[in-house]
Amino acid sequence: EAGVAQSPRYKIIEKRQSVAFWCNPISGHATLYWYQQILGQGPKLLIQFQNNGVVDDSQLPKDRFSAERLKGVDSTLKIQPAKLEDSAVYLCASSSEGFPSYNEQFFGPGTRLTVL
| Stretch of 21-29, 44-52, 65-73, 75-83 contacting other proteins, by CB under 8 A | 44-52
| Spatial distance between the Cα atoms of 50 and 65, rounded to a whole number of angstroms | 19
- For residue 86, give the 3-state DSSP assignment: helix
Does position 31 bind other proteins by CB under 8 A? yes
Does position 45 bind other proteins by CB under 8 A? yes
Q: How far is the CB of 89 from other proteins (least distance, A)?
A: 6
Does position 25 bind other proteins by CB under 8 A? no
- Amino acid occupying residue 99: F
**Nearer Cβ to other proteins, position 85 or 99?**
99
73-92 binders of other proteins (CB under 8 A)? 89, 91
- Contact in structure between 32 and 25 (CB atoms under 8 Å): yes
Count of alpha carbons within 13 Å of 11, Cβ hemisphere only? 25
E strand intervals along 25-64: 31-37, 44-50, 53-56
Does position 43 bind other proteins by CB under 8 A? yes
The residues that touch other proteins, with contacts defined as CB under 8 A, are 31, 40-45, 48, 55-56, 89, 91, 93, 95, 98-110, 112
